[in-house]
Structures are given as structure tokens and as C-alpha cells.
Structure 1
Amino acid sequence: MSSTTSPRTEASDPTNGRSDPADLEAVPLRHWGRWAAAAVVLYVTAAFLWSLARNPNLEWEVVGDYLFEDFVIRGVGITLMLTVVAMVIGTVGGIVVAVMRLSSNPVLRGLSWFYTWFFRGTPLLVQIIFWGFLAALYQQIEIGIPFTGVTFASFDTNAVVGPMTAAILALSLNEVAYAAEIVRGGIASVDDGQDDAASALGMTRSQAMRTITLPQAMRVIVPPMGNETVTMLKSTALVSVIGGKDLLTAVQSVYAQNYQVIPLLVVAVIWYLALTSVLSVGQYFVERRYGKGYGNASMSRRWLGLGVTR
């Protein structure tokens, strides 16, 4: 008895006598252009690093001699101090200015807008120089009652606002403007229903802001504030124009005497890269902490980066 296959059976067989699809081997698409471009970039990068490492003008032995010198370590300490103080003042002041921007009082809104407009609209270097030469505008700083001529105390401006004070004022006041916009954006990201719920529970606006809105806004605030911290650490190098005793000022004061400009700048670069890398690692863990519960599981698996800075 011969066996035959009916047309109905063949039509119902999707493989039509071929192998099972599960047994088929999937061949990934080859992106030869990408690999070729990556090879070219890798080659050029390796060639540049090789030429840089073998360049005798870098004088790596000089870099090693100065890398941990006392004046360099003191400069690193001043740089870190300026960064911490400026970020603390900037963050606290930024929260205040951000709340003023969101206030229903038109005077507070107008003042906060003018503050951010002014300090974000002028270069940080100009602000540092301005505070460094404040005595050219006000020779004396007087404390008294405005518009009455009554003065309780008077101080010489140069004695009060030295290079370090000027550096802290410039960095902090500038950071307040940027932090205010970051905080305002974070607060705006929280749903208005949260405030309604807090009001229904009898909480005041300040209580709701402190215990409900700001904690939720931290998820949005932390990433850009981490970038601001990295940027602030690098921006401290600008205070060298007024003799702020930071890391760059320290190496400049030495290479102005021994003319080892490139090796000492390499020392500064190494320290800046080390410090920003540590800050980036800290930012990574803080972001992961505040990203829990918001579907940001991929955040813990991404590469560490220095972030986007201004």
C-alpha cells in the first residue's frame, strides 16, 4: 500500500518538509563599517598616547618628583575646600532661590528671577575678578542703617575680602543661580497632587515642601547636582587669577620660577582627573540610591562617567 501526502496535509505544514525553525542557526548582522571605524579610532588613540608617553618634553621624572610635593598637596586641599564650601552654600542658597521663584509673591519671584538672570548671564571669571577687586568699588565696608547715614562699624575692604574670601563669594553666588534652576526643575517634576494630599492632611506648605516634595524631587535633582559638583571642582582653577592658593595657583607659582611649565601642568591634570573620578563614583552611588523604586534599574548597570558639565 503506497503512502501519499494529501494537498491538505502539505498546506497545513508551515515548514513544507523543511527543518524545524528552532533548529535554524541565527546569523547576526555583521557591521564591518563599525569595526573598521573602531579600529581606526583605536589606532589613532594608541599612536597619540604612545607619542605623548615618549615625548621627552613631558619629563615624567619631573612629574613624579612634584606629584606629591607639599605645595601641591596644600593646593589640592584648598581646591577641595573651595569646592565643598561653594557647593554647600550654593545648594542651600539654590533651594531658597528656587522656592522664591515658585512663590505666589511677585516681589520674591521678581528678585529670584533677576538673581538667576544676572549670575547665569555673566562669566564666572568676570565675577571672580570683580570680587577680587571689590576694594576698587568700595574702599570701606560699613554696617549701619541704610538711608540714614548711621554707621555702627566700618572695615577696610581689602582686609575683609581677601583672595580666599573673594573666591568663595564668587564661586558660591554663581552656584546659587545654577542650583536654583536645578532645584526648581526637580520640584516642578513632582505631581501637584502631592501638595493637594499634604494640604488635605493639614500640613503647611513648608512642611509639605520639606517632607514630601523635596525628597521626591531628589531623583531629578541629584544627577545634575553631581555634574555641578564636578564642574565646581574644575572651576576653582579660575581663582588663580586672583591668587586663590588653589592647585593651579600652586603649580603656577613654581613653574614661574623653574620654567617647568608642561610637567607641572601635567601634575595638576593628574590631580584634577583623580578628584573628578572620585566625585563621579560618589555621584553614581547617590544616583542609584535615589533612583530606587522609579524603574531606573539600568542606572546600576551603566558605565561610570564624568557627566555633562557647563
Structure 2
Amino acid sequence: MDTFISNFFDIDIVVEVLPQLLLGLKNTLILSLIAVPGGVFAGLVIAVLFSLRKKALTVPLIVYIDFLRAFPPLVLLIFVYYGLPFLGLELSAMSAVILALLLNTSAYFAEVIRAGIESVPRGQIEAARATGLTGWTTLVQVVLPQAVRNILPDLISNILETIKLTSLASVVTLPELLRAARLAQGNLFNSTPLIAAALIYLALLWPLVRLITRLERRSLSA
């Protein structure tokens, strides 16, 4: 038992590596604060364009959404960081991770928001237009508020997954939380830094998990 504790729950090591883990957490938060709003906004734009039902837009948007949802995010990140320089576009590790996350998450958010828009009864849209509201005003004031309410649990779930996806940044040597923990583990030959990083992730994401559960229960009881 003592060996187990010293290898996985050594408090002295936690204190030693905590500054390094906090620097990694800072990068994780930066990535999350850019990728989540950016992905939601891009997904919203794609979903709104899809709702226009223009054939010239629908087919490319379906291809975009389906391709990026099927494409492994790790492979996408590797392609962006290591492949784009061969096309003359060289990005920093931070920029490459942000671009890969935006491409991946925008497709998922677009599909969720599209489903929310389509869940709004057509009669409400026709009634709004009959009162003299323009198509854009109807979308903003009638459709989107209801759509967001209908998909809120799924939306938050996707936000949760996006934050977890930031751990892929360790593949391109960006010192986010997971990479900081792995470097500390390698230097100290001890797994305690990984456990500490896992606990930080837990503290960061647990409130979102509980929020999703509450929203799901509320939607079931409604």
C-alpha cells in the first residue's frame, strides 16, 4: 500500500509540480476559451445557412459536417500542424490546435444547432411571419431561443467534450495540462502528476457534468 501511495498519491510531488501543472492549466483554459465560443459561433453560422435550404449551400455543408465528424480529431490535428507547412502555411502549435479544434467542434455544434432549429414547429415560424416579422427577425427572436432551449443539454455536452479535446495539444508539444503532467511524470519517474492533472480536470469539468444531468432531468419531467 505504501508503494502504491508513493507512486500515485505523493503529496510532496504534488506540491513540487503544482506550478508546472498550473501553467499547463492556463494553456488548457486559453484553448477552451477560444475553441468553445468559436466552435459555437461557427456551428451557428453553418446551421443557419443550412436552414435556408439552398441546394448550392446544402450539399457542401452536409459534406463539411459529415466529413469533419467522421475524421478523427487527432489525425486532423497532425495534418494541420505537420501537413500544412508543405502547402506553405506554417502555424504555431497554439494556432494549429485552435484551428483543428474549431474545424472539428464547428461540425458537431452545427449538427446540434441544426437539430434544434428543426425542432421548432413550422407553425410558429409561419405565425411569426404572418405578424409582419422578417425572416431574420423570426430566426433571432422566435426560432433560435426555442432551439437553444431544446438542445441545451446536448450543447453543454459538446462544450464538455471540446474542453477534453484540448488534451490532444500534447501531441504537438503544446504544454497544456496533460503534457505538463506527462513531462513531470517523466522527470520524476512517478505517476502522481498524472493523478493530480486528472483531479484538476475533474474539478474543472464536474460542474458541467452536473449541469447536464440537471437539464436532462428537467427536460424529462417537463
Matched, 1:273 2:222: no
Whole-angstrom distance in 2 between the partners of 1:75 and 1:121: 29
| Mean Cα deviation higher: 207-216 or 217-226 | 217-226
Paired position in structure 1 for 2:142: 212
Query: Is 1:263 the counterpart of 2:186 in the alignment?
Result: no
Among 51, 61, 65, the residue aligned to 2:11: 61
Tell me how far apart the structure 1 counterparts of residues 141 and 204 of structure 2 sit (CA, whole Å). 33
Higher strand proportion (structure 1 or 2): 1
Normalised by the length of structure 2, the TM-score is 0.90
How much has 1:59 moved relative to structure 2? Answer: 4.1
How many residue pairs are counted as aligned between the two chains? 221
5+ long unaligned stretches in structure 2: none
| Structure with more contact order per residue of length (Cα contacts < 8 Å, sep ≥ 6) | 2
Amino acid at match of 1:199: R
Structure 1 segment 121-200 matched on structure 2, within 5 A? 121-139=70-88, 157-158=89-90, 161-200=91-130
Q: Is 1:117 paired with 2:66?
A: yes
- 1:139-163 CA-to-partner distances (Å, cap 9, x unmatched) read 2xxxxxxxxxxxxxxxxx33xx100
CA contact 2:25–2:177 (8 Å) conserved in 1: yes
Between the aligned partners of 2:3 and 2:124, the Cα distance in structure 1 is 57
SS of equivalent residue, structure 2 residue 87: coil
Q: What RMSD in Å do the two structures reach over aligned CA positions?
A: 2.3
Query: Residue by residue, what CA displacement relative to the aligned partner does 1:94-151 show, whole Å, maximum 9, x if unpaired?
Result: 1111122222211111111111011011100001111111444312xxxxxxxxxxxx
The Cα of 1:282 is off from its aligned counterpart by 5.0
- Deviation by residue 1:70-112 (Cα, 9 ceiling, x = unmatched): 2211211211221121111111111111122222211111111
More helix by share: 2
Query: Which residue is 1:30 aligned to?
Result: none
In structure 2, the partner of 1:91 is: 40
For 2:94, give the aligned amino acid: M
Among the aligned pairs, what percent are the same residue? 30
> Residue 104 of structure 1: SS of its match in structure 2?
coil
User: TM-score if structure 1 supplies the norm length?
Assistant: 0.66
Structure number with greater Rg is 1
Q: Tell me, yes or no, if the aligned pair for 2:14 and 2:192 is still in contact at 8 Å.
A: no
Gaps of 5+ in 1: 1-50, 140-156, 300-310
Question: Whole-Å Cα distance in 2 between the matches of residues 59 and 221 of structure 1?
Answer: 40
